[in-house]
Structure formats: structure tokens, C-alpha cells
Structure 1
Amino acid sequence: MKKASLAGAFFVSAIWLCGAQGACPSPGSLPQVAVQRVVDGDTLYLEDGRRIRMIGLNSPELGKRGRADEPFAVAARQRLEALVAANDGRVGVLPGKDDRDDYGRTLAHVYSARGENLEERLIAEGLGFLVAVAPNVDLVSCQQVAERQARQAGAGLWKKSPVVRAEQIDAPGFVLMSGRVESVRRNRGGIWIELQGPVVLHIAPGLQRRFDASALERLKGRKIEARGWVVDRARRGGNKAGQARWMLPLTDPAMLEAVL
């Protein structure tokens, strides 16, 4: 898909509801656990048997089943390997409030012995996207700062804009996209932000309190950026006539930006 550049855009923080902060804080002394292997840029296996999915980071995917590696996927894995090696093959692990994903992996923040957050480091070097999935959002503010710096510097995956237009979405999976809001509506199923094109953004009822309702209403007619994992509603049997085929669930306000 072609990339839609947003160079020079000004991002409105009203949707995020969080201030800019500096480097992610150190959690203090954590036991250092031996790493068995680095799987990719956001996943590693520990010698104690735990499989760690790093919180707040989504690195480019390595190729599987004949698919090519996504840009910077190999670089992200190699960089994480180097960071682990520089820490004597060990890492500190701080599990999230929600500490398990659907694949049985432990969701955790990963640190060096000096207290450096490795997700923030990889994001700052342009080797992964910031992602925020409530309730594991304690480091969102500092990781946002890291991503803004990487984006402004054109580091890693930001050398060529990875943003795609909503009209170009044609497959499920992770995406950073831009689009213009046609409507914002609310029903028992949550909040639905309809975009021009075949995509709707969805905020589940249980997450609505995390979002500023008035700020969402002001999105009508505005250009936005959204990120997350696109779902094919037709495949799930939930795509009715006249509805957008592709749905992007918003898991935290940090996954949505208004653009002037």
C-alpha cells in the first residue's frame, strides 16, 4: 500500500489526556532473569520458561508462511538481541496489571540492570510503534515522547512514512492509518467513529470512561490518525449491509490522535 505522509502536522493532545514527560522511570531494583532467546523485536523467552510480550511496543513482523519480513523487523530483533547481550544476557521483568495475553505470554515491561526501559529504547530508535492497551498503560506518556522524537528524526521505520489512508485498508492486522471522520455515534455496543472509506473505529463500552466524550464529538469532519489491529467484520459475520467492513478497536486514548 502507498504511504500517506503527515509531515509537518500538528497533533492535538486533547484525545490523549496525558502530558509530555521525559524518560520512562526506573522501577528500582528488579531481579535479573536470564534470556533464552529473542524471538523478535517485542518478544523474548526467558530461561525460567516465561514467554515475554513487551508492553507498549509493537515491532514490525518477521515473515512467516512465505511472507516477507516487514521493514525493520530484522533490525528490531537484532537491536533487542544487542540490548540483552549488553546486559549480560539478562533482563528485569515487571509484569503488567493485565499480565497474560491470549497466547499465554506474560505481558511485562523489560528493563536493563541500570533501570532503562527497553520498550522505550526501541521506540526511540524507530524500531517499533507505541501501542497502548488498557490497563497496561503506566508508561504511555514517556513512550509517546520517545515515538515523537523518533518520528521527528526520521529514525528507523519513520524514514518513510508508515501511515496509510483509511481508504487503502484491505487486510486485517496492525496499522497506523489516517482518515477523516464522518460521524461519531454511540449505542449499547459502544462508540463508533465512522471514517471516509471502509473503516470504523470502535470504543468498547468498558473503555468509554477512558476517553473524553466531548473531544470525540469534536472530531466530526476532522482528520485523525489511529493505530491498532484491524478486524475483518465480514469474516466474523458482523458486517451488515451498509456498514464498514474493517473495524479498528481503540484500546486506549493514546491510540487516537486528532490532526489539524
Structure 2
Amino acid sequence: MRILKKALPIWSAFFLVCSIPVWAQCPYVLDVERVEVAYIYDGDTVRLKDGRKVRLIGINAPETSKDNKPAEVFADEATEKLSKLLSQAEASLLLGKEKQDRYKRWLGYLYADEVLTSEYLLREGLAFHIAIPPNTRFSDCLKAAEIEAENKGLWGQNSTLLKNVSELSGRESGFRVLTGVVTSIRQIRNAHLLIIDKKLAVKVDESFMDGTDLSGANQFKGREVRVRGWIKPKKASDPAHYLPWFLVIRHSSQLEWL
């Protein structure tokens, strides 16, 4: 169990602030609550001293080892980086517009002093950006932070989270950043369905796409695209259009034309 230290003396905190890069773009807001982090599960989930389990908004970090499953690439590095950052700073929390998820975890932006930890991990290449409405307050600056990672961390090698659609196999599931070619596209009720490499069906809900127009289906055929989110393998009871894998797009940042 990683029990974090209390805030360091003033001179130590001053040294930390002065050593933090000036690239931080996501703003520090005043309506935060001071918190103490008692345990860090991985790069995107912590437990507070008051018992609340908090899932960090805006990122998805690699999973650490659990249930006899090995840790994903860079999971330990992300966990340790977050632990080190928080151990030397005062933590504060800003809850999202949607305050809890279906697992009863609290959803929030966690700051170390005035640095948004999600932004920090993205710039280090130790997490992927993900925007889930309605918690999209800092999605623009978080996306910019991910771009700054360039070839660092998760973007610098072929991890299991970053791959081509054609490489999907077995009953693979979970968060992925996938690249492939659109082989067909059709409209279904209140959404469009992108078929990628004839293996992945991507449901693009029009109500979440920030005005992105997919009505001209033919112009997208044959184009390379990158999508991100949680993939699910098809079950026997699923609709035929699920294909071997299915993914739902709920925000425009989940889909990039390459």
C-alpha cells in the first residue's frame, strides 16, 4: 500500500513549484477541495484518506497487475510518477459535472499544488486522453498535452493499448487506441456505423459529435482513421452489426482522420 507523505515544509514546496515545467496549460481553479491521497491504485485511480475512490477525469492509464493478469506496458511507471508528484505537493480535487460513475467511483480532476495530474501524465506519455461527456471541461488542454508527448512513453513503442485494428485477436477487450481503414459506413438510428478493416464496428452517436458531419458516407470510405475507447468482443446475443468487436464514440476527440 502506498501511503503518501504529508505536504513538505514551505521551502520544499517552493522548490517543487519552481521546478515544475512552465508548460502547464490546464487552468487551476479556485473551487477545489483540499484532500489527502491515501493510496494510488494506478495512473488514473486513487483513494482519498476519507475513503472515497476517485477516477481521474480525462485520461486512461495502463492497468496494473491484478486478478493474475500482468501489468500493461508503462502501468508501473504511470503509478510511480503519479505517486511521486503527489508525495511532494498539496492535493486538491475538483469533481466533474457528473460526480460518480456506475461503479460508484468519484470522478474528478486531481491537482498536485496547481498542476493538473491528468495533464502531467499525458505530457509524459503515460496515459491516453479520453473525453466522456458531460465531464469535458478541460478536454481541449488535455488533448494538447497528449500531442506534446510525441514519441514518449505509450506513444514510443508498440504497446498492447496502441495497435492496428487488424491486430485484434481472441476475446480482446478494454481500452484501446486503434488505427485502421474505413471499409464501409452506414446510418442507423440516431447514429452512424463505421466499419474498420471489416473487424471493428464503431458506433458514432450524432448527439455527442460536436457538429461533426458524417452524412456524406462515400467520402470516408478508404480513409485511415484512429479511434479510441473501450472495445467489446461480440456475444451471440449481440446484433449482427457488432462484428467481431464493437466500440462506441461519444465525443469527437475519440475519432481522428489520419
Smaller-chain TM-score bracket = 0.7 to 0.9
Distance change (3 Å), C-alpha of 1:216 and 1:245: farther
Q: In structure 2, what is the equivalent of residue 129 of structure 1?
A: 128
Q: In structure 1, what is the equivalent of residue 27 of structure 2?
A: 25
In the alignment, structure 1 residue 139 sits paired with structure 2 residue 111: no
The counterpart of 1:51, out of the listed 48, 53, 58, is 53
Structure 1 distance, partners of 2:71, 2:46, is: 18
Structure 2 distance, partners of 1:232, 1:255, is: 19
The counterpart of 1:69, out of the listed 63, 66, 71, is 71
State the TM-score, normalizing by the size of structure 2. Answer: 0.83
In the alignment, structure 1 residue 157 sits paired with structure 2 residue 159: no
| Amino acid of the structure 1 residue aligned with 2:50 | D
Distance change (3 Å), C-alpha of 1:62 and 1:96: same
Matches within 5 A, 1:9-24: 23-24=25-26
In the alignment, structure 1 residue 182 sits paired with structure 2 residue 179: no
Count of paired positions:
231
Distance change (3 Å), C-alpha of 1:243 and 1:59: closer
| Amino acid of the structure 1 residue aligned with 2:248 | P
Q: In structure 1, what is the equivalent of residue 9 of structure 2?
A: none
* Aligned 8 A contact 1:55 1:108 in 2: yes
Distance change (3 Å), C-alpha of 1:234 and 1:55: same
* Aligned 8 A contact 1:24 1:143 in 2: yes
Matches within 5 A, 1:89-108: 90-108=90-108
Greater relative contact order, per chain length (Cα 8 Å cut-off, separation 6+): 1
Q: In structure 2, what is the equivalent of residue 14 of structure 1?
A: none
Of all paired residues, the percent bearing the same amino acid is: 29
Measure how far apart 1:216 and its partner are: 7.2
* Aligned 8 A contact 1:93 1:111 in 2: yes
Distance change (3 Å), C-alpha of 1:215 and 1:204: closer
Structure 1 distance, partners of 2:215, 2:109, is: 30
Q: Deviations over 1:206-260 (max 9, x none)?
A: 435x34114874422210001110012225x1142x751200111211011000x
Q: Deviations over 1:64-115 (max 9, x none)?
A: 222111111011111111111011xx421111111111111001011122x2
* Aligned 8 A contact 1:181 1:219 in 2: yes
State the TM-score, normalizing by the size of structure 1. Answer: 0.82
Q: Please give the root-mean-square deviation of Cα atoms over the aligned residues, in Å.
A: 2.0
Max Rg structure: 2
Structure 1 distance, partners of 2:50, 2:211, is: 38
Q: Deviations over 1:38-58 (max 9, x none)?
A: 111100001122110000111
